[in-house]
Amino acid sequence: MHILITNDDGVFAPGLLALVKEMKKIGRVSIVAPDRNWSASGHVKTMERPLRVKEIHLADGTPALACDGAPSDCVALALLGLIEEKIDLVVSGMNPNPNIGHDVTYSGTVTAAMEASIAGLPGLAFSIDRPDELSGEIDYDSCARIARKLVDIIVKHNSVANLLLNINIPWIPEDQIKGIRITRLGLRVYRDELVKRLDPRDRPYYWIGGEFPTSLSKEGTDADALKAGFVSITPLSLDFTDDKALASLSRWTWSF
């Protein structure tokens, strides 16, 4: 098993290192990750400038490649030949905050896994359901251990070449996690605000601010599972077609 690991928090993020240590117990690991934080970057394909890659070492001495592109760029480069040996699985994370509901369209963690699915490989995105307002150390190691156990199960059962899973782990002690639920995406509620300020030359600039998003905890969703103390595993599809709208629009009279 040859596993490609990436993230959206940057190659030196502690969540990536914890994941690397656990994935090494499953197979050979290669790392291609951004050289800086790309959180909420979405699905990016950089085509109008060159992408640069440099060799670095993680805190434990593990060799890795740092790229100045987005997480999805990192996966694309690796699969297109930057990593010469065939890759069997792409694992993205460990993100320190949840990626649930509509977050999957913004998340660099999730869209890196999507890039794997586009290439016909299984892609797994791992995140921790830690509230943004909390401070202090994050126990990445226990979450990475859970991730490794889940990867073991997925590898044994996976019959879908481009399986795409969004996996969120509750922010509670490992021995208090109640189990695993297979879920659908829930509804994320954003409270974004436009913050306008002036620079020293009185020219306006803008921030997208606001409170941390919340979720509607509806039965069967990722948010509901996490609230109840379960690991949430949501299978995703790259087919965004709205079947209800498709059926409705097909009945319209279209002419011009």
Q: Is the pLDDT of residue 119 over 90?
A: yes
| pLDDT computed for residue 161 by the predictor | 85
Sequence-separated (6 or more) residues with CB below 8 Å from residue 243: none
Mean model confidence pLDDT for the chain: 94
The average pLDDT across 28-32 equals: 98
Strand-pair partners of 206: 196
Q: Does residue 94 have a cis peptide bond before it, meaning omega lies within 30 degrees of 0?
A: yes
The average pLDDT across 67-82 equals: 98
Q: Kindly report, residue by residue over 198-254, the tens digit of the pLDDT.
A: 999 999 999 998 888 888 889 999 999 999 999 999 999 999 999 999 999 999 999
Token duo for residue 18 = 């914890």
Q: Is the pLDDT of residue 134 over 70?
A: no
Do 134 and 123 meet the contact criterion of CB atoms below 8 Å apart? no
pTM for the full predicted model: 0.94
Q: Kindly report, residue by residue over 154-208, the tens digit of the pLDDT.
A: 999 877 789 999 999 999 999 999 999 999 999 998 889 999 999 999 999 999 9
d(CA 176, CA 192): 33
Q: Is the pLDDT of residue 135 over 80?
A: no
Q: Is the pLDDT of residue 131 over 90?
A: no
User: Please, what are the domains in the chain?
Assistant: 2-187+217-238 (3.40.1210.10)
Q: Residue 96 has what DSSP assignment?
A: S
